[in-house]
C-alpha cells in the first residue's frame, strides 16, 4: 500500500504543474486564470471565476499544465449569461488502485 505521505507528495507535485484552465465558449477556446489552488492530504482543489462579461455556451473545461498539456477534460453544456460571474471548481483526488 502506498503511504499517505507519498500520496500527499504526488498531490503537491500535481499542484505545482497546474497552470490554468481553458474553456470552450461558443466554439472558441479561451483561458481562465486560477482564482485558487490548494492541496489537502491527497486532493488538489482548484477554482476559476469567469467575470460578468463572459456570455455564451460553454461546452468544455480543460485543466492545463505548465507545459501546455491537458491534465483533465470536463465536458458540459452551460449557458452563461452576461451580468453574472461564474465560479467553477475542480477536484483531483490521488488514490491507489490495485
Each domain of the chain, given as residue ranges in start order, spans 4-93
pLDDT of residue 77: 97
pLDDT of residue 4: 86
- CA torsion 88→91→92→95, rounded to 10°? -170
What radius of gyration do the chain's Cα atoms show? 15
Q: pTM of the prediction?
A: 0.90
pLDDT of residue 1: 86
Low-confidence residues in the chain, pLDDT < 50: none
Whether the Cβ atoms of residue 34 and residue 18 lie closer than 8 Å to each other: yes
Alpha-helical regions (H) of the chain: 4-17
Amino acid at each position: 500500500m502506498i503511504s499517505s505521505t507519498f500520496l500527499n507528495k504526488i498531490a503537491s507535485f500535481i499542484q505545482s504543474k497546474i497552470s490554468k484552465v481553458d474553456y470552450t465558449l461558443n466554439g472558441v477556446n479561451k483561458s481562465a486564470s486560477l482564482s485558487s489552488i490548494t492541496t489537502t492530504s491527497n486532493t488538489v482543489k482548484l477554482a476559476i471565476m469567469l467575470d460578468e462579461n463572459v456570455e455564451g455556451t460553454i461546452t468544455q473545461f480543460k485543466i492545463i499544465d505548465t507545459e501546455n498539456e491537458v491534465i483533465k477534460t470536463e465536458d458540459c453544456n452551460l449557458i452563461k449569461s452576461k451580468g453574472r460571474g461564474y465560479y467553477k471548481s475542480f477536484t483531483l483526488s490521488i488514490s491507489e488502485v490495485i
